Structure 1
Amino acid sequence: MTRLQTALDAIDNANAKDPNLDDGQPEALLYGQRMSEEANRLFPNASEALKIAARGQHIERWVLKRADFPEGRAGYLSWRRELGQHHANRVSEIMADAQYDEEDIIAAGAMLRKEGIKRNEEVQALEDIICFTFLKWYFAPFAAKHPHEKVVDIVRKTARKMSADARVRVLAEFELPADLAAAFEAPAA
């Protein structure tokens, strides 16, 4: 077994313990598999660090509950920062156990903490993978539960996080209503 497969299996084993289910499977496990599918599709020549970061994007997400953080934007941002750090720490442990060198471990951690988005190619690639995964599997259920204004706002925020190439690809791959497509047509802020 390769060290890549060893790392991916370890992430899957951790995520298989998610008590939350989606489509009859542990949520984090299914999300990681979907992230890997999009990573392989969007970036077929991705580094192993990027492939591992994609799979581990939500590793053990359920251990830090949003309800355990203060209400409001500040509480939400604190929760997201702590989640990113938790994901990076767990993936780093798994990569070390799989005999990855420090450079690859540091790279994956930076991706998971989103350090250098818009400046670091691999951090941006992970963000693009996250956005495509959201649009492909999670957008429709989200949109069905929220008012249209909130949906438009989320789509704008999603588009701003993406690279120019990814925004072009979204327009080619998804049939979006005009007001949502406009978010991907505009230059990223």
Structure 2
Amino acid sequence: MTNTPFHNASELIDAENAQDPNREIYQTKSYPKELLYSNRMYEKLMEFHPDASEAVQIASKAQHICRWKIARETYPMDRVGYLKWREDLKKFHAKTTAGILEKVGYDSNFIARVSFLIEKKLLKKDEETQLLEDVICLVFLEFYLDPFVQKHDRDKMKNIILKTWNKMSDKGHQEALKINYSSANLQLIKEAIGL
């Protein structure tokens, strides 16, 4: 079983993400930042939707593959620059993943589907794109909301939370409200979404 294309692709994605020079401390242990993110994405997907297709599973792991290679600072520090950076990142993640999937023997239709998902095409219309977006938002709310709260003022945070909320499905919303937030962050979320 271990030598399946899925297993081989997962190992190669992990190997790429393990090269991230940026580190994140989680429960006193230091991890390459994007490897930790990839693991969180995959674990959250399997918890939220255990029968997710293989394409979504790979897309979840590869969502930020080698993200550090395209630095935000190399784009204008305004909204237009930010959106261009995000767009270029999606294409880069899709292309990097496609190369790995080709190497381990996936066919072109499967590779195209994973690229479609990583590029988050047809959000709200394609069920699997929506599933992936739900997982991205859940991982953000559970693990990355706090660092954002430290950096931004309350109004900006409410705006970020509302934008996140609006990208999610009803099932995603239900799951998001089960996360164990600090009381201050839960209050912030409730204010942002009008609960």
CA distance in 1 between partners of 2:126 and 2:190 (Å): 26
Between the two proteins, the alignment pairs up a number of residues equal to 186
Q: Which residue of 2 aligns with 1:110?
A: 116
Distance 1:43 1:17, change over 3 A: same
Are 1:11 and 1:55, in contact at CA under 8 Å, matched by a contact in 2?
yes
Range with greater deviation from structure 2 (101-110 or 49-58): 101-110
The question of whether the paired residues in 2 share the 8 Å contact of 1:167 and 1:185 is answered with no
Structure 2: segments with no counterpart, 5+ residues: none
- Identical pairs, percent: 37
| Structure-2 residue corresponding to 1:78 | 84
2:141 to 128, 135, 144: 135
| SS of structure 1 residue aligned to 2:10 | helix
> What is the aligned counterpart of 1:30 among 29, 36, 59?
36
CA–CA distance in structure 2, aligned partners of residues 36 and 91 of structure 1: 15
| Corresponding residue of 2:156 | 150
Stretch of structure 1 that moved more, 77-86 or 168-177 = 168-177
Partner residue of 1:62 out of 42, 48, 68: 68
* 8 Å contact from structure 2 (residues 159, 192) kept in 1: no
User: Secondary structure in 2 aligned to 1:131?
Assistant: helix
Q: Find out whether 1:47 has 2:49 as its counterpart.
A: no
How many angstroms apart in 1 are the aligned matches of 2:192 and 2:170? 12
> Following the alignment from structure 2 to structure 1, what is the Cα–Cα distance between the partners of residues 187 and 69?
39
Q: Is the 8 A contact 1:84 1:113 kept in 2?
A: yes
Distance 1:115 1:143 in 2: 29
Alignment partner, residue 16 of structure 2: 14
| 1:168–1:184 CA contact under 8 A, matched in 2 | no
Measured against aligned partners, the alpha-carbon deviations of 1:132-163 in whole angstroms (never above 9, x if no partner) come to 11111111121122211111111001001111
Residue by residue over 1:9-42, the C-alpha shift from the partner in whole angstroms, topping out at 9 and shown as x without a partner, is: 1001111111111112111111101111101111
Q: 1:4 — aligned with what?
A: 6
TM-score when normalising by structure 2: 0.90
Contact in 2 for aligned 1:131/1:162 (Cα 8 Å): yes
The TM-score normalised by the length of structure 1 is 0.93
- Deviation beyond 6 Å, 4+ runs, structure 1: none
Structure 1 residues without counterparts, runs of 5 or longer? none
Residues of 1 paired with 2:76 and 2:187: CA distance? Answer: 36
